[in-house]
A and B are shown apart, each in its own frame.
Chain A
Amino acid sequence: MSHSLLEIKDLIVSVEDKIILNGINLTIGSGELHVLMGPNGTGKSTLVSAIMGDPRFQIESGQILLDGKDITEMKADERAKAGVFLSFQVPEEIPGVTLEDFLRTAKGSLEKRPPKILQFKKELKEQMKALDMDPSYAERYLNVGFSGGEKKKTEILQLLMLQPKLALLDETDSGLDVDAVRTVTKGIRAFKNRKNGLFIITHNARILEGLDVDVVHVLEGGKIAYTGGRELISKITQEGFGVLGKEALIHERL
């Protein structure tokens, strides 16, 4: 059995006094890729945001453990240092800060010392090339005037440059054309290894092509309603969430 990278225990999360997540239990082992699906508005983004430490979401009770270490009370930057990364559904625009400067600052914060400049530049160039990104984007202000696709690629670029232990991807494929999705998938593949973990929110299977999906979770009514294998994805994408009968597919995996 693989070592558990992320462990969520009885997590209850509210926003403005309204309970959104009502008792989430989930474990992601190192080297694993989990997918989170579910109808709109069921709290998928809330879950990954809460794991990242978004202050808008109040953790009422429960625990989040990373590598066995309790991160429930940590601020977002401490979680990032512990190894959590979130690819945002809507990445923020930061005027006046170039992508390269930002990445160097972030890397310096995470590694507690500034990266070696030449090595960093070389790596950045290579990763951008692998993601079919125009090298001039390094000099552009972070996400300012980027298209939806460019923003998402930039998120994956950050993922590759920062090398977290656990990557949470919140609909990184939404709004992307076929080629861009393929590039993003390529990036995810390049990131994935036996030590790290991925937790991917998606509505369709395209982003998962060529990736080994270990577990699929379906979130409904603030809880993980179903947990299954890869076969769940095609079922849902073809027939919708309604197809999931209570008896058919549940197998608790703890």
Chain B
Amino acid sequence: MKDFKQEKTRVDQADRTIYDVKDRLDPAFLTDSGITAEIVNQISKEKNEPEWMRLFRLKSLNTYKEIPLPSWGPSLDELNMDQIVTYVRPKSTMKAKWSDVPDDIKQTFERLGIPKAEQKSLAGVGAQYDSEVVYHNVRAEVASKGVVYTDIESALTGPYSEMIRKHFMKLVPPSDHKFAALHGAVWSGGSFVYVPAGVTVDIPLQSYFRLNAPGAGQFEHTLIIVEEGAYLHFIEGCSAPRYYVANLHAGCVELYVGKNARLRYSTIENWSKNMYNLNTKRASVEEGGTVEWISGSFGSHISYLYPMSILKGKKARMEFTGITFAGEGQNLDTGAKVLHAAPDTTSHISTKSISRDGGNSTFRSLVTVTENAKGSKSAVSCESLMLDSISRSDTIPVMDISCNQADIGHEAKIGRISESAIFYLMSRGLSEDDARALIVGGFAEPIAKELPLEYAVEMNNLIHLEMKGSIG
């Protein structure tokens, strides 16, 4: 009898646990189901999309519901999915008001010397008419060379519809991770660029002119195809902070670099400090082609960002140059991934990270070399600068090398600003703040040098602002 009783107790306990779990899961389940097939259908209908895209969205939605949140990086517990549900609904009444834009961002705009009208649009409030004009002019200029530069929605229904269907989320499948799936279901806005074989686009194309439409820029999709022997420099984003009501950014960038083509992709992301930036970027590079990534990550509360390059063809190359600046309350997990899948491919990853005021910056890299990638070379270097003793910096380089005829190198340096360097600069009349800013600016210089001048200047201003603690 005694034995039986004990066993019964055990069963009871087990039962209760099951209920507890179910109770805990319920709200999450409701949130997830908040983005419904109906909403997705509605988005698709609003955009007058082809049927395949509608089905693609629905399939992505199912994938989204199946995949759990990632558990290996910074915590996503405070991610407000309710807000996102409301936001993705077409004709959402949830629009940002200028008065809601946080003061620190407004101040930054002023310090960067950006006029009020533009400030509003950078904050995601309202459309930016001046930029629209510039954008149309740029479009006309490149169009004369056969280059297509347009928003992805209109490309979807135009003559490039088939091309988009062939490439859309083929590099980044929705099954990749939860936010890729979410992107597949609710994506909206973004750019489509097609550069025909042999064409060199002399001026950099800038998505800055495109991203300011209401609602764009949150789940935007960028698709760039650079054909054989062509060249393009594409610049995404803007160094002024962007503010949105909903605090999730899950964009997707897919870059197709043809044989002997070259694509340079520069980004400065400076999200408002409530933002979860869960962006996915990937490039595939054919024989002899080159992809160059320049990536600056400022702002956001939490970032997961690791642009990946798939070196598919012989002698394909990638270069990644990145900088991350994590301040108070920020946990920025950034880096790069490369897959060497063909012989004689080369990759060069060089990153810098700065953390201050308790900011947390993690560098992750993944270098994979397949068995057939003989003669491949990879060099990874990351340098971190911590500006005080409460900030954190981590380096997590992963290498998966299946080929013994590959040349792989990794170098990591973590340091602090030396007090003697500050004294040296102060002895020449610089204030302590200016001395620190100069040292940090110098640390970032190898990246700034890769940026177009106006962005380099803005990045420098931004570092000065961050250093003075005037924002965030």
Chain A interface residues (CB < 8 Å from chain B): 52-56, 75-77, 79-81, 84-86, 88, 91-97, 102, 105-106, 109-110, 141, 158, 162
Contact (Cβ within 8 A) B429 A75: no
Chain A to chain B: the 8 pairs with minimum beta-carbon distance, closest first: A96-B442, A96-B445, A76-B426, A109-B429, A106-B428, A92-B424, A110-B429, A97-B442
- Determine how close the nearest CB of chain A comes to the CB of B424; give it in whole angstroms: 4
B424, B426, B430, B441: the one within 8 Å of A88 (CB): B424
A97-B428 Cα distance, complex, nearest whole Å = 14
Contact (Cβ within 8 A) A109 B442: no
- Determine how close the nearest CB of chain A comes to the CB of B299; give it in whole angstroms: 22
**How many contacts A-B (CB < 8 Å)?**
82
Task: Enumerate 8 A-B pairs (CB-CB under 8 Å) in ascending A order.
Answer: A52-B427, A56-B420, A77-B430, A81-B429, A86-B427, A91-B424, A95-B442, A97-B442
B428-448 interface with A by 8 A CB criterion: 428-432, 434-435, 438-439, 441-446
Residues of A within 8 A of B439 (CB): 94, 97
Contact (Cβ within 8 A) B420 A80: no
A75-B428 Cα distance, complex, nearest whole Å = 12
Residues of B within 8 A of A86 (CB): 427
Residues of B within 8 A of A76 (CB): 423, 426-427
A219-B425 Cα distance, complex, nearest whole Å = 28
Does residue B48 face the partner (Cβ distance < 8 Å to A)?
Answer: no
A56, A91, A102, A162: the one within 8 Å of B419 (CB): A56
Q: A54-B423, A55-B423, A88-B424 are in contact. Are A94 and B442 (CB under 8 A)?
A: yes
Q: Which of A53, A75, A77, A95 has the most CB of B within 10 A?
A: A77
Does residue B418 face the partner (Cβ distance < 8 Å to A)?
Answer: yes
Residues of B within 8 A of A54 (CB): 423
B419, B423, B429: the one within 8 Å of A106 (CB): B429
Does residue B396 face the partner (Cβ distance < 8 Å to A)?
Answer: no
A208-B428 Cα distance, complex, nearest whole Å = 24
Contact (Cβ within 8 A) A96 B430: no
Does residue B421 face the partner (Cβ distance < 8 Å to A)?
Answer: yes
Q: A76-B427, A162-B428 are in contact. Are A94 and B438 (CB under 8 A)?
A: yes
Residues of A within 8 A of B442 (CB): 94-97, 141
Chain B residue with minimal CB distance to A92? B424
A187-B309 Cα distance, complex, nearest whole Å = 54
Chain B residue with minimal CB distance to A111? B429
